């Protein structure tokens, strides 16, 4: 009977140690998540704001041109804009790939409008996507630094 009691106590002690280690791991993960969460929220918010801003800008500038049958001015840059929007959507699943798509789309938009001679529109369409993509890269960098420090 004493032998069974000792095994029971040893099992309880092992279980206690196991759960203490799990709790420490979970609290470590929450601390790590706590430090990078503001970067992720800032990047996702910036990306969403940029997408909404661009859509509103197109609605204000592009739709009247379409109604005046002057849509040929807007059509050439729509694929580049779609690349940037797709990049934002991809960041919700694959942050690095989406960030690169946003930055590439922003650079292409900027270059397209600069070559076309409309630098102002280049800055309006390109720079916000580049900035939002860079915010995602900062978040990814901070996350990898914290994971490397604590592993």
pLDDT in tens, the chain (151 residues): 556 656 655 666 565 566 566 555 544 455 556 667 787 888 888 888 888 888 887 777 666 665 665 555 666 778 888 888 899 899 889 989 999 999 999 999 899 989 988 888 888 888 999 999 999 999 888 888 877 765 4
Residue 12 lies in a domain: no
Number of domains in the chain: 1
pTM (global) more than 0.85: no
Q: What is the Cα–Cα distance from 88 to 17, expressed in whole angstroms?
A: 44
Residue 91 lies in a domain: yes
Domain that holds residue 70: 37-150
């Amino acid at each position: 009977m004493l032998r069974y009691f000792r095994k029971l106590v040893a099992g309880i002690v092992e279980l206690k140690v196991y759960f203490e280690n799990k709790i420490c791991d979970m609290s470590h993960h929450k601390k790590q998540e706590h430090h990078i969460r503001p970067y992720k929220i800032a990047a996702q918010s910036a990306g969403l704001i940029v997408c909404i801003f661009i859509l509103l800008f197109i609605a204000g500038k592009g739709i009247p041109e379409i109604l005046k049958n002057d849509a040929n001015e807007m059509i050439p840059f729509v694929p580049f804009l779609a690349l940037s929007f797709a990049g934002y959507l991809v960041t919700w699943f694959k942050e690095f790939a989406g960030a690169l798509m946003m930055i590439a789309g922003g650079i292409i938009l900027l270059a397209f409008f600069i070559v076309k001679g409309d630098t102002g529109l280049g800055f309006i369409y390109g720079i916000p996507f580049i900035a939002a993509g860079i915010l995602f890269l900062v978040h990814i960098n901070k996350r990898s630094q914290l994971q490397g420090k604590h592993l």
